Amino acid sequence: MGDGSGASVQVVVEHELAAVLDRLDVGVFALDRQERIVWANAASLAFLSCSAPEVVGRRLLSLVHADDRQLPSPRTHREDVGTPPVHPGDRILLARGDGSPLPVRWFPLPLRPDAECGVRLRAFATDEDGATSHPAGRSESTRPLSERDRLALLADTTAQLIYNIDVDESLRRVVRLMLPRLADWAVIDLITETGEVNRSLVVHAHAGGLETYGDLQGPMPPVPASSPMPLSKALRGVASTLAGPRTYDVPPDSAVAVEQRRLFAATGIETAAIAPVKGPSEVLGAITLGRTAGGEPFTTVDLGLLEDIGRRIGIALENARHYQRQRQVAATMQRYLLPQLPGLGGVEMTARYLPAPDASHVGGDWYDAFALPDGDTALVIGDVVGHDLEAAAGMAQLRNMLRAYTWAQDDPPHRTVERLDRAMGHITDVSMATLVLARLTTHPAGHQALRWTNAGHPPPLLLDSAGGARFLHEGRGILLGASPGRPRLEARVDLLPGSTLLFYTDGLIESRRQSLDVGLERLREAAADLNHRQLDYFVDQLLVRSRPADNDDDVALLAIRIPEAR
């Protein structure tokens, strides 16, 4: 469930975002649905030698140089033809203000809110003189880089790290940018969150391309506290250093030095540059570039470039670790807050919680089931407006209140939810939420009956033994917090033998590209097709078949099944 704001975007690029993008070394365009440029950052104007009035309002296609006949569409998705997103790294020629060609590579940048605002961000990094497209193994790969080449490499590196949240993939892409342009070998050592060092990547550029040497990768010894050797200093964040085989052709002062001597011997590196990988608040590792015989020796100028690359990698890595840490905390909190399901005689029950792929979307969804004093069973599915830890904490408050009211008062579900709605704003931090509260009753004759009320939540799905499937739209009212004190409706249905009842949250059905009705129908069809399967398999496959690929919300499911009469 989203944050409930529903506000449309009224400006093309917010002032704060524009300020950030203007500081990038990468060119950035903002494009409308017709692929017209509606904003350009300072780097893009400098690269093109144009002013903003000269590019704003023009279609991006109009900037293509005459020598380049094709431009990848900047749209990240086209609903009419279903084309996939543009792949990062696509090369194109743009026309400068003087008509000369400017080789660039394209990268899409994420922008939220999504397609509803009609704006896409498109970044490009300069590819002057084919700098990013040297085939591996060419003799000029280790030639000294011009200042323009260095800026292009930093722009490419920034674009790759911005585009890709996956750190391992980002590192591989950055290495592909450096090899063979800067060196024959690249080695990345990373410090784990527990303080251990791991040689994460060892890559060699040769005539056949890039090759990863897994036998040289793996755990490294602890970093010595005072060793003056280059790698040890870099891993402590002390300094960047030039090195060679002679550097380690001395009695080793640590196990790290032994490993580094082994690296030089195995790779044939004759000259190396080693720099820290530093984030805003901590040292995260070190990067080593090596050249074999015949390559130009590294200089202190190369160290400056490598330090810049290391800082960019460090920022991306620290952000990714923060992202994963935040996600893990939210998901762990959510998991521990979800209940153990009670055992019910004569009724099968199972539940699932699937965290959101985006850490900022974890936390608000929950399910609950618990026995009541009179022998009935309360069934709940809910979703708190908001995301992450705040939503998880609000969910816990609301769940506990609902449990207390349902247990203490022998009221029908709609009365309990009315009481909860009146109290929620006064004694919880939850502003709005949706939920379904149901009461399952086993009658003396043995049949099951369900009473429920729905506060703005997607309708439960009921399947019968013959394969029929219908949504329970009855008993529906507005979401909690929208109008406290308003009377709520209640509905009732008998659950026949062989029937299955599914409660779920909107992460199972919502898509940015399709209407909610399409998601509901997809769920209904999938559930009907799987209805004959065992209950745990049924819910697992629903998650696979029904959850839209573009949905970044968490999902909670609660399902019960009334066994067939024997």
pLDDT digits (tens, 9 = 90+) for 165-206: 677 887 888 888 888 888 999 999 999 888 899 999 999 998
Residue 315 CA, chain-centre distance (Å), reads 17
Question: Are β-strands 448-455 and 476-477 bridged in parallel, bridged antiparallel, or unpaired?
Answer: parallel
Higher-confidence residue of 288 and 319: namely: 288
- CA distances, 54 to each of 29, 63, 187, 398, 403 (Å): 13, 10, 44, 55, 63
pTM exceeds 0.85, yes or no: no
**Is residue 344 domain-shared with residue 332, that is, in the same domain?**
no
Residue 425 in domain: yes
- Which residue range forms the structural domain that includes residue 192? 165-171+182-305+318-337
Q: What's the confidence (pLDDT) of residue 9?
A: 35
Residue 233 in domain: yes
> 317: closest CA among 353, 283, 269?
283
Report yes or no: 557 and 542 within 8 Å, Cβ to Cβ.
yes
Mean pLDDT of the chain: 82
**Is residue 333 domain-shared with residue 346, that is, in the same domain?**
no
**Is residue 355 domain-shared with residue 419, that is, in the same domain?**
yes
**Is residue 332 domain-shared with residue 348, that is, in the same domain?**
no
Q: What's the confidence (pLDDT) of residue 520?
A: 95
Residue 59 in domain: no
Report yes or no: 481 and 421 within 8 Å, Cβ to Cβ.
yes
**Is residue 485 domain-shared with residue 551, that is, in the same domain?**
yes
The whole-number average pLDDT for the span 53-57 is 89
Higher-confidence residue of 159 and 51: namely: 51
Separation between Cα atoms, residue 17 and residue 399, nearest integer Å: 38
The dihedral sign for the CA sequence 265, 267, 270, 271: negative
**Is residue 324 domain-shared with residue 353, that is, in the same domain?**
no
Residue 266 in domain: yes
Residue 86 in domain: no
Q: What's the confidence (pLDDT) of residue 352?
A: 92
Helix (H, G, I), strand (E, B) or coil at 531: coil
For 405-444, b/e burial (b = at least 16 CB within 10 A) is: bbeeeeebbbbbbbbbbeebeeebebbbbbbbbbbbbbee
The dihedral sign for the CA sequence 164, 169, 171, 175: negative
**Is residue 331 domain-shared with residue 368, that is, in the same domain?**
no
**Is residue 408 domain-shared with residue 266, that is, in the same domain?**
no
User: Long-range pairs for 211-220 at CB < 8 Å and ≥24 separation?
Assistant: 213/266, 213/267, 216/187, 216/262, 216/263, 216/266, 216/267, 220/189, 220/196, 220/256, 220/259
Residue 431 in domain: yes
**Is residue 349 domain-shared with residue 482, that is, in the same domain?**
yes
Separation between Cα atoms, residue 39 and residue 17, nearest integer Å: 12
Q: What's the confidence (pLDDT) of residue 294?
A: 78
Report yes or no: 186 and 289 within 8 Å, Cβ to Cβ.
yes
Higher-confidence residue of 398 and 324: namely: 398
Q: How many domains does the chain fold into? A: 2
The residues pairing with 400 across neighbouring beta strands, listed in sequence order, are none
pLDDT in tens, 107-122: 766 654 444 456 677 7
Q: Which residues contact 126 (CB under 8 A, 6 or more apart)?
A: 27, 47, 102, 103, 104, 148, 151, 152, 155
Phi and psi torsions of 348, nearest 5°: -85, 145
Question: Are β-strands 500-504 and 283-291 bridged in parallel, bridged antiparallel, or unpaired?
Answer: unpaired
Q: What's the confidence (pLDDT) of residue 293?
A: 84
Separation between Cα atoms, residue 553 and residue 511, nearest integer Å: 10
CATH number at residue 350: 3.60.40.10
User: Counting Cβ atoms within 10 Å, is residue 10 exposed (0-12), middle (13-18) or buried (19+)?
Assistant: exposed
**Is residue 373 domain-shared with residue 332, that is, in the same domain?**
no
Separation between Cα atoms, residue 334 and residue 505, nearest integer Å: 15
Residue 67 in domain: no
**Is residue 292 domain-shared with residue 360, that is, in the same domain?**
no
